[in-house]
Chains A and B, each alone.
Chain A
Amino acid sequence: MGQSEAGTVVTAQGWEYSPAPERTRPKIDSEYGLFIGGEFRAPQTGRVFDTINPATGERLARIAEAGQDDVDAAMAAARAAGPKWARLKGRERGKYLFRLARRIQECSRELAVLETMDGGKPIRESRDVDLPLVAQHFFYHAGWADKLHWAFGGRNVKPRGVCGQIIPWNFPLLMAAWKLAPALACGNTVVLKPAETTSLTALHLAKLMQEIDLPPGVVNIVTGAGETGRMVASHPAVKKVAFTGSTDVGRKIMEELAPREIPLTLELGGKSANIVFADAPIEQAIEGVVDGIWFNQGHVCCAGSRLLVEESILESFVARLRDRMAQLRVGDPLDKNTDVGAINSGEQLRRIQSLVTAGQEEGAILHDVQSAPLPDKGFWFPPCFFTGVQPAHIVAREEIFGPVLAVMSFRTPEEAIRRANMTPYGLAAGIWTDKGSKIFEIASRMEAGIVWCNTYNQYDAASPFGGVKESGFGREGGLHGLRAYVQ
């Protein structure tokens, strides 16, 4: 018998989480060349630029700036490697992709940390979401390489040839996987242009390609900014172009390629709506809405950046949303407990800030929860949402590409459908209701390429992804994603 000796366990502030830093560090070179013909080489421009960690501002490495001569060399290497690569039995091509998938799995941790350091997304996401999907894409497409005959109804298909691929900064390695895996599986060779703020994981992927003895020239990587991308897209050697990025740049690419008859796939911006009915499973809808807009700091083309709530539940839904938003931890992306990381660049941060300011000036009401102080270095924008939003407001129409949600209401299903479709974009939509028939009816009427029903942000190599209207055309992933890469 005896008294408890411990006293109170929990301090006055409550039970807080200690820092939980990820300790693995990848080896980062001080400078990277362009990956052409299976080796790294200095750019003929002689110019390099810095890539920084947006959470700290520190320079991570110097990246080569590819000019026209460099792009020409990459295209020549891709063209030269084409015939032999295309002649390989599908099964053998598939084996290269299986090998690459295995290496990616083995190096997952380092690649995840590198992705976080270069781009700003939380380590937990790059570790648990990005990297597994990257490996899956290569595994999935490896298995198609010897089955294309059946993928296209018994027709004997051929590769297109050299593919020019330009990818964005929000899921750098995953976007590289989405582009490379189907192209290679179908027997094409590639010139890839990563986003200028996030080149590192693509360059490390190139090192893995060397390790698995991928024939030189099958994949070439030319780093640089928008101008380098333009050179890739418009190069005469290119037989197919794939671009993921903003609608504005997509438009420019279309204009650039207008005189040519080559296939183009575009995966552009979005202003996707989550529609929550009163008969929705509310707890789950909250999770879906939260994940839809605040996952990856809102840097997601298919982010659920508009919320349409049935009016009868608007007030209680918004209250729950606010509580849930307050749980999100903004901070060091390398801390395993961080939910919302750094904004990718100063430029993007300024864009978000100006749109949010404009939103307030138009009369929408901003709700944000600033609990912990933000670090003074780096680019940060804490999650927030607007209420009192009208469909004509700038925050309801323009893609912010940040952790900002615009909340509106509706009274009938017809109104919800109309409001959801009232946008030049058409990438994704979310529908929340427990009534099955409603799901199927509304899903078929959404002007969107992906409809998530009672879920959000689900991605799989087997599931075709892509938009309609100004969100682009063409699909990536699944059977349908192979189409663009064969003739």
Chain B
Amino acid sequence: MLARRAASFTRRSIKADSKRSGLRLAVSMLDLTTLEGADSPELARALAQRAIHPCPVRLDQPVPSVAAVCVYPRLVPVVREALAGSGVKTASVATSFPSGQAPLDARLAETDAAIAAGADEIDMVISRGAFLSGRFDEVAAEVRAVKEVCGDTHLKIILETGELATPDNIRRCADLVIEAVSAGRELADGEVFVKTSTGKISPAATMPSVLLLLEAVRDHFLATGVRIGVKPAGGIRQSKAALHMLVMVRETLGQAWLDPKLFRIGASSLLDDLVRQLLWTSRGHYAAMHDVAVT
């Protein structure tokens, strides 16, 4: 039934005004991401510029900026400077992304350094090996430790759903990290996110795995009144997929979560397709890649 419910959202037909506003909403929710070994300051600057002005062409209704730019800690200063005054956030991965296989103190030190360099948001990874071995306390303790280092800095917790293998595991893991990060704290809405994937393995953000996270977040809200954010990441390349996600959020969590404060999409090439679709809805012609891709 999980697969069936997840698939039902893909059968919604989003057209006309709802499509236009959905596409713009999706752009405003993007964490524009580059996490490659070959990343350079120049590349990061170009990405930051794209993040502020996603559409190279002026449309009647301006295309909003994205929500954040997400990079490795080393590029945080460059990105922060490039984004200054724009309202777009600087997000950094940390905790030995993507594997998380470094000693805990190294992971915490990296987190600290990224924040010191100016990151507004931290995307951490949990220890999947510990989770799959049943060492849940260890997973929870690490999450709490990272939250401690973060303080008020927004924290996104990557579960790496593709490695967790079963829906039951994904749900259990989501509940576990939400509880761990909430323990003894009064969290503000959107201070913490659960995130599906690093984007480095497949499967990444599938409809069923995101639905599981949305359900965990919904149940937490019903129990505590606190809104945890959700971020699917990885494998979302087409506007259609992004719109399906928005439908799923709307029909599972309601309108409140249709906001970059509570829902983000981690992607890179998706922006190209969103802009192409916006150009099409605006002008009636399908744009070529060279019309939109400026990095």
Contacts and interface: CB of A to CB of B under 8 A. Distances in A.
Contacts of A373: none
A3 B259 CA distance: 18
B201 interface: no
A227 to B, nearest CB: 40
A4 B21 contact: no
A17 B255 CA distance: 12
Contact of A5 (B12, B17, B62): B62
Given A4-B65, A6-B63, A327-B251, A128 B11 contact: yes
A3 B250 contact: no
A15 B22 contact: yes
A105 interface: no
B63 A17 contact: no
Nearest to B23: A9
A18 B17 contact: yes
A3 B258 CA distance: 22
Interface string A433-454: 0000000000000000000001
Given A1-B52, A15-B255, A288-B1, A9 B24 contact: yes
A475 interface: no
A10 B257 CA distance: 11
Interface in A117-171: 124, 128
A400 to B, nearest CB: 24
Interface string B77-99: 00000111111100000000000
B5 A10 contact: no
Interface in A1-60: 1-7, 9-11, 13-20
Most buried by A among B1, B15, B19, B251: B1
A16 B24 contact: no
A19 B255 CA distance: 19
A10 B261 CA distance: 13
A460 to B, nearest CB: 15
B86 A3 contact: yes
Given A3-B85, A15-B258, A454 B63 contact: no
Contacts of B259: 10
Given A17-B14, A18-B16, A284-B1, A9 B28 contact: yes
Nearest to B24: A9
A283 interface: yes
A60 to B, nearest CB: 24
Contacts of B21: 9-11, 15
A4 B52 contact: yes
B173 interface: no
B64 A4 contact: yes
B282 interface: no
Contacts of A198: none
Contacts of A201: none
B12 A337 contact: yes
Contact of A283 (B13, B61, B63, B215): B215
A9 to B, nearest CB: 5
Contacts of B215: 283
Interface in A293-336: 327, 336
Contacts of A3: 85-87
Interface in B203-239: 215
Given A6-B62, A10-B255, A287 B53 contact: no
Contacts of B52: 1-2, 4
B246 interface: yes
A455 interface: yes
- Residue in B4, B16, B19 with the greatest tally of chain A CB atoms within 10 Å: B4
Contact of B86 (A2, A10, A13, A288): A2
Given A4-B64, A9-B25, A17 B12 contact: yes
Nearest to A7: B64
Nearest to B18: A18
A15 B251 CA distance: 11
B13 A336 contact: yes
Interface residues of B, number: 39
B14 A20 contact: yes
B28 A287 contact: no
Nearest to A316: B222
B165 interface: no
A418 B83 CA distance: 67
Given A4-B52, A10-B259, A454 B1 contact: yes
B188 interface: no
B40 to A, nearest CB: 20
B86 A4 contact: yes
B2 interface: yes
B4 A287 contact: yes
Contacts of B28: 6, 9
Nearest to B65: A4
Nearest to A11: B21
A2 B17 CA distance: 27
A441 B64 CA distance: 57
B64 A6 contact: yes
Interface in A444-476: 454-455
A26 to B, nearest CB: 20
Interface in B248-267: 250-251, 255, 258-259
Nearest to A338: B13
Interface centre among A11, A15, A16, A454 (most CB of B within 10 A): A15
Interface string B11-49: 111111111011011001000000000000000000000
Contacts of B64: 4-7, 9
B258 A10 contact: yes
A326 B84 CA distance: 43
B249 to A, nearest CB: 9
A14 B258 contact: yes
B97 to A, nearest CB: 27
A393 to B, nearest CB: 29
A126 to B, nearest CB: 13
A136 B165 CA distance: 33
A14 B53 contact: no
Contacts of A1: 52, 82-86
B12 A6 contact: no
Contacts of A13: 255
A16 B14 CA distance: 9
A285 B4 CA distance: 12
A6 B54 CA distance: 11
Nearest to B5: A287
30 contacts: A1-B52, A1-B84, A1-B86, A2-B52, A3-B85, A3-B86, A4-B52, A4-B88, A5-B62, A6-B28, A6-B61, A6-B64, A9-B24, A9-B25, A9-B28, A10-B25, A10-B258, A11-B21, A13-B255, A15-B250, A15-B258, A18-B15, A18-B16, A20-B13, A20-B14, A124-B11, A283-B2, A283-B5, A284-B5, A454-B1
Q: Lowest 3 A-B CB distances belong to which pairs?
A: A6-B64, A14-B255, A20-B13
Given A9-B24, A10-B259, A13-B255, 15 more contacts: A2-B86, A3-B85, A4-B52, A6-B64, A6-B65, A9-B28, A10-B255, A10-B258, A15-B25, A17-B14, A18-B14, A20-B14, A283-B2, A284-B5, A455-B1
